[in-house]
Amino acid sequence: MNKRIGGVAVLAASALALAGCSTLSAVGNLNPFKKDEPKEVAGDGRRISIVAFDQKVETTESLKGLDFYLPVATATANWPQPGGDPAVKVDHVEAAPAFEVVWRKSFGKASNRHFHVTAPPILVDGRLYVMDAESDVAAVDARTGAVIWRKPIHARTKRDKRGFGGGVAWSGGKLYVSSGFRFVAQVDPASGEVGWRRDTASPIHGAPIVTSGRVFVISTDNELLTFEAATGTPGWTYQALVEPARILASSSPAAAGDTVIGAFASGEVVALRAANGNDLWNTTLAKASRTSALSEIRDVAGRPVVYEGDIYAASHSGVFAATDLRTGQARWSLPVASISSPWPAGDVVYIVSQAGELICASRTNGEVYWIRDLNEGQVIKKTNFFGMGRKEDKGGRTLWTGPVLASDRLILASSDGRAVAVNAKTGEIIKTINVGAPVLVSPIAAGGMVYLVTDDAQLVAIR
């Protein structure tokens, strides 16, 4: 058993947020001594931004207008785990060239004040597997959107009546489920029947991955847990630094060969031996800001990505970095605050910031080819000292999730119900479509299609 006891980071209060959305949930006043209601409260379907956009990334003059290499788009039949297929190099998928909505179908309970849709979908052999706001799992026909089966994998108890989150992964003919209701389970993908189930000490808000015969998950207590895939027998664990202030999302681990990479709310990115949990190296993606205490929320909520011997990951506190997989040495970093997963491909890596800036950077040195502000022209709500807004101001900052590189375009979706296709070479927005509801979960691309999960627990298929 490999267990490292971490110190407790000292912060005044916990910050609560949705997966894929750096926002403050209205669960009560953050000041324990003040009984009045907070001045600004997030109602159903609304989010209050808690990110200070005080950092600046600029394009590199010498790279403006220069071309770069992207691999040719290839057909990908399945997307069985977070980030795609572990056995296939996923960097440029052939999918959805027309970029048109084919169907929208509901698959379960929508998000509300207490429950949230946070799990990305997966696709295997013509079936999508999804998890709704109350952590029920459904199998959906990828061609029509028809629900094949839907199962409550957990028993609802008084203690866990507000549990939510988790995710699904497929490996070796079995479905693996993690849950905010404090368990990990193996499920028959044909029927939804549970093969084994193991309780955990704390909720799991991120999807599992399965590699080297083990299931890997990260709990909200910043603990990486492992289970034998065949039997569910608990294996080694790894305890990162405990963080009381964090995003409610928990990152899924990543894997490369016999190495597993965990990313935690402490800002730590850790490489471990898959077989025994031996610590290979540990780095921290954290940056304090003089103008924002929120930079102390160091969460690496987006899944780290392994590509061509490097790991790409970004933190909420404003560090986006490339790290050598073998040594743990930083290659470069940029001041980008993000809770989305980067997308490396060819010569470049793409990431979307919390400010809504889509950035294309060189994988070699982090120099920036172009930046596209997806919120350009958006009017942001402003208030004076007394909390009074100007009449002409409206709305709030739109949050974006993605990107996915599909058929020479970057596909992203937003908290105001849009999906965009962006030219991967220039950053030009090619097409925008309405998907009908907020999207806070990254898209997937497989089987020639792009699939989105909305906050209303709808699957949207784009061809």
Query: How does DSSP assign 258-295, residue by residue?
Result: TEEEEE-TTSEEEEEETTT--EEEEEE-----SS-GGG
Q: For tokens 């994988």, what's the residue?
A: 363
Average pLDDT, the chain: 85
Q: Write down the architecture of domain 23-462 according to CATH.
A: 7 Propeller (2.130)
Strand pairing class (429-434; 444-446): unpaired
Per-residue pLDDT at 7 exceeds 80: no
Distances (CA, A) of 238 to 70, 245, 263, 298: 37, 20, 11, 19
pLDDT of residue 245: 65
How far is it, in rounded angstroms, from Cα 449 to Cα 451? Answer: 6
Domain ranges of the chain: 23-462
Residue 118 in tokens:
């946070």
Per-residue pLDDT at 28 exceeds 60: no
- 133-151: average pLDDT: 96
Report the first-to-last Cα separation within the chain, whole angstroms: 47
pLDDT of residue 76: 96
Per-residue pLDDT at 388 exceeds 50: no
Express each pLDDT in 268-323 by its tens digit. 999 999 999 999 999 999 865 444 444 467 889 899 999 999 999 999 989 999 99
Q: What is the CA radius of gyration of the chain?
A: 21
Give the type of residue at 301.
A
pLDDT of residue 157: 61
Express each pLDDT in 185-226 by its tens digit. 999 999 999 999 999 999 999 999 999 999 999 999 999 999
Express each pLDDT in 390-446 by its tens digit. 434 444 689 999 999 999 999 999 999 999 999 999 999 999 999 999 999 999 999
> Under a CB-based contact definition with an 8 Å cutoff, are residues 417 and 438 in contact?
yes
pLDDT-derived band at 164 (thresholds 50, 70, 90) equals confident
What is the SS3 assignment for 362? Answer: strand
Give the type of residue at 113.
R
